[in-house]
Structure 1
Amino acid sequence: MTVKTGSISIDAQNIMPVIKRWLYSDKDIFVRELISNGVDAITKLKLIQSLDKDEELKITLTLNKEKGTLSFEDNGIGMTQEEVEKYINQVALSGAEDFVKNYTQAEDAGIIGHFGLGFYSSFMAASHVTIDTLSYQEGAEAVRWDSEDGIAFEIKSGERSQRGTLITLHIAEDEKEFLETHRIRQVLNKYCAFMPVPIYFVDAAEEAKKNDEKTAPTPINDTNPLWFKPPRECTDEEYIETYHKLFHTFDDPLFWVHLNVDYPFNLKGILYFPRIRRDFAGQEGEIKLFNRQVYVADNIKEIIPEFLLVLKGVIDCPDLPLNVSRSFLQNDGQVRKISAHIAKKVADKLTGLFKTDRPTYEKYWDDIHPFIKYGALRDSKFYEAMKDVILYKTTEDNYLTLEEYQERNQDKVEKKVIYTADAARQEGQVALYRSRSIDVVVMDTIIDISFLSFMEYSSNLGENTPTFVRVDADISGLEADEEADSSISQKEMENLFRKVTGLDTLEVKLQPLQDEQLNALLTEDEQTRRFADMNALYGRELGLTQQQTLVVNPKSSTIKALVQLKDEKRKELIAAQIYDLARLATRPLEKDDLRRFLKRSQDLIAALAEN
């Protein structure tokens, strides 16, 4: 073979600066591109040639820090001189030019993937690259390709005696990080952990230290990841192990959904529902996107339904383009179908679990219910699938469906659902319902404000549509079966509490309550309070609603003593304290009110100490 030299293209001189600008934070992508080329070479060989069963087809990445090189070797199909000229000199350039063109046209589109650079990406980290290759074809000659800048090249006869290709990168002075073992392992774990061909990493310095010790090498990748296996062949232990490996966590997931779809799109993957912090606001999931086991990107939110963004997992979808923008994902019909399928599979998983293992389903409910409720608000199909298995947790830690709640309480509250937004704060009201054996459900997350209205107006439950009533909205039917103490004047109580609160519209009602320790309760109209809560949710504080009723319990020994007090100042002090305690059961006090409440508490303690 004669030596052949040339220049790839005069335009190539302008390509590398542009590529480096686009890939500044992803310069390690050359590792994925070169190893992907090796995978392709081995895959092609499998298709066209019968192989020795004892021969392992593999890719070996060797780091030699002393020589300053990083080499990629495969025993795949190899190349002839003609193929080197075609695929290296021409295709590499055209791929790079296409890359630059696409990226320049979509500068702000949020391109993910960075595929298409192929061999040319090696010059992201190398100042000098050589290729030694031998084609599988009988009688083929070894070829050596050499370039020191990615522009000028030399092709000549090579010395390689084994089928396959060896690409050697002489790492540039300003890219020495790629001569560090930990950095290369990090990159391999990021991009190549699940590629379909065994990949071995060799550190020349470590090998030299072993002397004559012989140990069987271990691939750095799993060539048959769990999501490519039929679900029936996977164990719980394997699912959990994969979760730990993917996300470097010691926590176990709550449950998972195995995706295996061939039509109308090709999709494989595993989605995990993680354990949720109590303050789940800001807790985001992570979806790793693969294409035929090659890592593309992570944090791909566009594929997952909005209400399930807490999910973690992996999706392998060859139907999605590799160099894809986020704006494309947001508007692509195929992506919307994938998102809808994921929502359906999650609903199928949960409804199946409810039917076959309700105790476990109930155990998960505290973690998952905010997302299920949000899904009901956002996705009508998801709601229809889930509506019969939406649970309501009671203050007694029972979990009831809406139908079960209505059956248990229909003779007491008809079609109402009694709820509390804070079981501890509203214990006084909850106790009144408990005394009548009426279940009180806990609705204490931010999504519940909207979910209640949705269930009342958009749940499509017909005559079973519920009305939600908070424990402090109405206590009718919960009164003690006796008349109010006639020695306590309704008018006197009304004047006293209106005076200390400064609320001329405050309605005061004398009503015996079951609990004699309960001095008073503050009730507010359900719809008016909800309106105020919704405004507060969006930062529009309206203050206390004016439609308030203070229910004063004449059975309370404190109220009886209050009436008998002659010291008007102390009487007003105690009345103001009783009112604020009733307010605290409905919502936190405002800053100034809280300051007055604490000062008043100190004054009362001091007065008691003096007596």
Structure 2
Amino acid sequence: MTLSRHAGRVDAGFSPRIDVTPSERNEPMIVRDNGIGLGPDEMRTFLATIGGSSKRDDFAVARRGFLGQFGIGLLSCFLVADTLEVRSKSAKTKDAPTTLWVGHADGTFTVSDSDYALDGPGTEVKIMPRHGDLEWCNEETLRKLAGDFAELLDVAVRVKGDLMSMNTPPWDRSIEEQLAWCRERLGFEAMGIVPLDSSLLNVRGLGFVLPYTAAPGHRTGDRIYSNGMLVADSVDQLIPEWAFFCRAVIDAGELPLTASRESLQETNSLGLVRERLGNRLLGELIKVHGLHQNVYQDILRLHATGLRALAVKGADIRDLMGSTLPYETTLGERTIEQLLAIDQPSIPYVADADSFDAIRDVAVHAQVLVVNASGPHETELLQVFNEQHTGRFSEMQRFEISSLARPEPYVDVDRGSRLVRVADETFGPNVVGVEVAHFQPANRPVLWWPAANLKGTRKRLPTLAGPPK
């Protein structure tokens, strides 16, 4: 809420401060700084316009007109008070007077000499909260708000004499302290930490890898500061949407804020910074993969679904996922890169879990590789790689199941025919197709293919192993 501009202070040894006195026993809340202050003409020029827009309906106008100057912080006082007093004394002129501006929520105001003089240059704001809004100006609330919003400011902010600001930013702390900060402020034990520095516009921060599975495209949002002042706790503008596996704390440096000061303006600079931070995250994944395989595998296991979704949409990370994300197959786990290296024209896959369970042991005994692509985004990712590698992956069809089993004709034709006839009579025509044959493993009584894979029918195709009884 301060109206002062520290950059204009005359003396080189100036040490800025802001002192906040909570409202108690019907006394006003007071905010006092020792900045450059305002002279009488400046008070009339700036605060008269704010006073004329002090009605709540005019907030948008005031925000546009005074963004980055004095307007929005002062104007917000009228959300909790009907009357506002501002006293200011300029540091530019020796023996400058103290000027008083009194504004009211109905839009009226006065500018006059103050009834008492400030003891030095700076500005004092007095807020008399309405009865229903006292909680916003009491000590408990002010300590919490100052602790949240001002903790990283390099200006001394005190509430009843206690320093609430000038804390060391998390990115300037030791790794142990960074982990503790994440645990205390964000509420989870990070699996890893990614430094997020951009030489552009003084953006600095940290990305904390989540220890739980996060839904792709649904990021919680990040804790964003602007030159040390907290902007918001759930901003999703600086970290790319695909980085769902981490939550960040970042100082946006010189990136401009919106009028409400609750988010960042969507500018070309913001887009460039977002791209750089995304590249930093991707580079860290590659680095972890090379240097800390156990950590990387933990990340893959926890965030496999989201990483596949990311690889489907994002070319930047697709190659890394293609070489590291494993698929289950009938011959053990394989990455897409390993599958593409197999010397055969087509690599079969099944797209649902029931189908894979139905053929798994038969394919294992036949030493035939079939890919299980039944997990979320697994089929889509194979199709994306198909576009790059001319259809190397193909969904297994009904006719391939019989050849997969490699059946041998059963010698007892009569008994086999009776089994087929009983099945037809029991289930009816075009419901179940039966073929009698030998195949391995011997403990598998039938091989069946789910109806969902038989286009246009409701059939299942069982194949009997061993003699019927």
- Counting only pairs closer than 5 Å after superposition, residues 587-598 of structure 1 correspond to structure 2 as none
For structure 2, list consecutive stretches of 5 or more residues without a partner in the other structure.
none
Distance 1:388 1:281 in 2: 18
Residue identity in the other structure for 2:448? L
* C-alpha separation in 2, matches of 1:551 and 1:134: 93
State the match for 1:510 in structure 2. 436
Q: Distance in 1 between matches of 2:157 and 2:330?
A: 56
Q: RMSD across aligned C-alpha pairs, in angstroms?
A: 4.3
Q: Secondary structure at the match of 2:462?
A: strand
Residue in structure 2 matched with residue 573 of structure 1 by the alignment:
none
Instruction: Tell me what 2:113 maps to.
Output: 156
Matches within 5 A, 1:248-263: 249=187, 251-263=188-200
- The alignment status of 1:451 with 2:385, answered yes or no, reads no
Which residue in the other structure is 2:61 paired with? 101
Identify the residue that residue 88 of structure 1 maps to in structure 2.
47
1:52-100: per-residue Cα shift (whole Å, max 9, x none)? 6xxx532222213213321112222233333333333346657989843
Q: 1:370 aligns with which of 299, 302, 305?
A: 305
Instruction: Pick closer, same or farther for the CA change 1:422–1:197 going to 2, 3 Å.
Output: farther
- Whether the 8 Å CA contact 1:130–1:144 is kept in 2: the answer is no
Check 1:44–1:92 CA distance in 2 against 1; reply closer, same or farther (3 A cut).
farther
Change (3 A) 1:509 1:197: farther
Q: Distance in 2 between matches of 1:326 and 1:134?
A: 30
Q: Give the secondary structure class of the aligned counterpart of 2:196.
A: strand
Aligned pairs (5 A) from 1:124-523? 124-137=79-92, 139-147=94-102, 149=104, 151-157=108-114, 158-202=116-160, 219-227=163-171, 229=172, 235-247=174-186, 249=187, 251-263=188-200, 267-277=203-213, 280=215, 284-309=219-244, 311-317=246-252, 318-323=254-259, 333-384=268-319, 386-394=320-328, 400-405=334-339, 410=342, 416=347, 421-422=352-353, 426-427=356-357, 429-435=359-365, 443-456=373-386, 458=387, 460-461=388-389, 466-467=392-393, 469=395, 474-475=400-401, 479=405, 484=410, 486=412, 489-502=415-428, 504=430, 506-523=432-449
State the 1:133 CA deviation.
Answer: 3.5
Contact 1:191/1:294 (<8 A) preserved: yes
CA contact (8 A) 1:516 1:553 kept: no
Q: Is the 8 A contact 1:472 1:522 kept in 2?
A: no
> Are 2:464 and 1:553 equivalent residues in the alignment?
yes
Contact map agreement 2:84 2:127 (CA 8 A) in 1: yes
Contact between 2:32 and 2:125, CA under 8 Å: does it hold in 1?
yes
Q: CA deviation at 1:474?
A: 4.5
- Residue 286 of structure 1 contacts residue 311 of structure 1 at CA under 8 Å; is this kept in 2? no
Shift of 1:143: 0.9
| SS of the residue 2:163 aligns to | coil
Deviation string, structure 1 residues 175-217 (Cα, Å, up to 9, x no partner): 1222443333343345334333232222xxxxxxxxxxxxxx6
Shift of 1:333: 4.5
Q: Is the 8 A contact 1:452 1:468 kept in 2?
A: no
Query: Which residue identity is paired with 1:242?
Result: W
3-state SS, counterpart of residue 260 of structure 1: coil
Cα distance in 2 between the residues matched to 1:501 and 1:241 = 65
Q: When you count helix as a share of all residues, which structure comes out higher?
A: 1
The answer to whether the 8 A contact 2:366-2:404 is kept is: yes
Name the CA shift for 1:334/1:132 in 2 (closer, same or farther; >3 Å).
closer
2:447 aligned counterpart, secondary structure: strand
Offset at residue 454 of structure 1 (A): 1.8
Check conservation: 1:92, 1:119, Cα contact below 8 A: no
Within 2, Cα distance between the matches of 1:329 and 1:507? 64
| SS of residue in 2 equivalent to 1:237 | helix
Q: Which residue of 2 aligns with 1:50?
A: 12
Contact kept, 8 Å, 1:261 with 1:268, in 2: the verdict is yes
- The one-letter amino acid paired with 2:197 is N
Q: Deviations over 1:115-139 (max 9, x none)?
A: 9523232222123333343433463
Compared CA separation, residues 180 and 284, structure 1 to 2 (3 A): same
Q: Do the aligned partners of residues 162 and 368 (structure 1) sit closer, same or farther apart at CA in structure 2, a change above 3 Å counting?
A: same
C-alpha distance in structure 2 between counterparts of 1:397 and 1:184, whole Å: 63
Maintained 8 Å contact 1:433/1:478? yes
Determine the C-alpha separation between the residues in 2 that align with 1:88 and 1:67. 26
Question: Aligned residue pairs: how many?
Answer: 463
Deviation at 1:387, TM superposition (A): 4.8
The residue type equivalent to 1:78 in the other structure is G
Task: State the shift of 1:451 in Å.
Answer: 2.1
Question: Which letter does structure 2 place at the counterpart of 1:430?
Answer: R
| CA pair 323-478 structure 1, distance change in 2 beyond 3 A | same
Alignment match, 1:16: none
Q: Write the letter of the residue equivalent to 2:203.
A: L
Take 2:49 and 2:38, find their aligned partners in 1: how far apart are those partners? Answer: 14
Q: Which runs of 5+ in 1 are unaligned?
A: 1-33, 105-111, 203-216, 533-543, 565-611
Percent identity for Structure 1 against Structure 2: 14
CA–CA distance in structure 1, aligned partners of residues 425 and 62 of structure 2: 73
Structure 2 Cα separation of the partners of residues 138 and 116 of structure 1: 24
Which secondary structure state, in structure 1, belongs to the residue aligned with residue 448 of structure 2?
strand
**Would you say the 8 A contact 2:38–2:90 is kept in 1?**
yes
TM-score (norm 1): 0.63
3-state DSSP of counterpart to 1:261: coil
Q: Secondary structure at the match of 1:51?
A: coil
Give the aligned partner of residue 66 of structure 1.
Answer: 25
**Preserved CA contact (<8 Å) 1:143 1:156:** yes
Mapped to 2, the partners of 1:488 and 1:267 lie a distance apart of 81
